[in-house]
Amino acid sequence: MSAASPLSSVRIVLVQPQHPGNIGAAARAMFTMGLEQLVLVKPRQFPDIEATRRAVGAERVLESARVVDDLAEALKDCHWSVASSARPRHLGDEPLPPAAAAEQLLHASTAGQVALVFGAERTGLSNEEIELCQAQTLVPTNPEYGSLNLAAAVQIYAWELRKAAVAPPQFSLKKDHPWYLPATHEQLELFFEHLERVALATGFLDPANPRLLMRRLRQLFNRARPDRNELNLLRGLLTTVETPKRRGPRPPPPSDSA
């Protein structure tokens, strides 16, 4: 995959994969479709002979795979990420179908790193992990039998990503598009921390009974996909809530007010 390929900014993140064979099969599935960035969050066993055996020629993807301790670390420099999960979402948007997730990932990838995240074989992603991502996706399966193998799920998404990458793009990024200066995952998390501090300070958030307030606010802001300038704007507003800025004639301005 050349550096210019739209797929080169898409990483696949496997959270706590339990079977090394699935890691190898996922690497093979990725590489057949031109994806090369694999990140493993706390794999049970890696490197492993079974992973290498199942990769069959895609060892290069395994060799360059990054192993990290948690999902936040895997997403740190990403500005958009999608969680693959069948977990019902009581709050928030409907999960994206795979083709739509692929299109949006590629669209966002023109501005920086993006990630598609898969959970462990039996347990999937936790709610907390899903909430670290900006969107959720789901492969709609046979209602009688939905047990999609991890590598098979990666294959479906890798295929949809390749189709979307090879098809002429329907969207173009304009300079004034919100993703032009995308916010990184870390910047977004710092904003959420700031928002929570303010919500606690004003008494909006009751630490003894936080309910789902922060989760709902996260979903709202994740849906808007704020860019860096917008995050700066929001954080500026939060800062003035914490420390009001005096304007106009009311109090005498300090001498260095310019």
Q: Helix or strand or coil: residue 126? A: coil
Contact by Cβ (8 Å): 160, 96? no
Site for a copy of itself contains 127 (CB under 8 A): no
Q: Please, what is the minimum distance in Å from the beta carbon of residue 159 to a copy of itself?
A: 5
Mask of contacts with a copy of itself, 56-95, x by CB under 8 A?
xxx-------------------------------xxxxxx
Q: Which of 49, 73, 216, 253 binds a copy of itself (CB under 8 A)?
A: 216
CA distance 131 to 189: 11
Contact by Cβ (8 Å): 118, 66? no
What is the DSSP code (8-state) at residue 56? Answer: T
Q: Please, what is the minimum distance in Å from the beta carbon of residue 172 to a copy of itself?
A: 8
Nearer to a copy of itself, 43 or 226 (CB): 226
CA distance 226 to 219: 12
Task: Residue 96: count other Cβ atoms within 10 Å of its Cβ.
Answer: 18
Q: Please, what is the minimum distance in Å from the beta carbon of residue 7 to a copy of itself?
A: 9
Near a copy of itself in 8-27, by CB under 8 A:
25
Site for a copy of itself contains 53 (CB under 8 A): no
Near a copy of itself in 162-201, by CB under 8 A:
162-163, 166, 169-171, 173-174, 176-178, 198-199, 201
- Count, residues near a copy of itself per rule CB under 8 A: 78
Q: Please, what is the minimum distance in Å from the beta carbon of residue 72 to a copy of itself?
A: 23
What is the DSSP code (8-state) at residue 150? Answer: H
Nearer to a copy of itself, 47 or 97 (CB): 97
Q: On the CB side of 91, how many CA atoms lie within 13 Å of its CA? A: 15
CA distance 99 to 165: 11
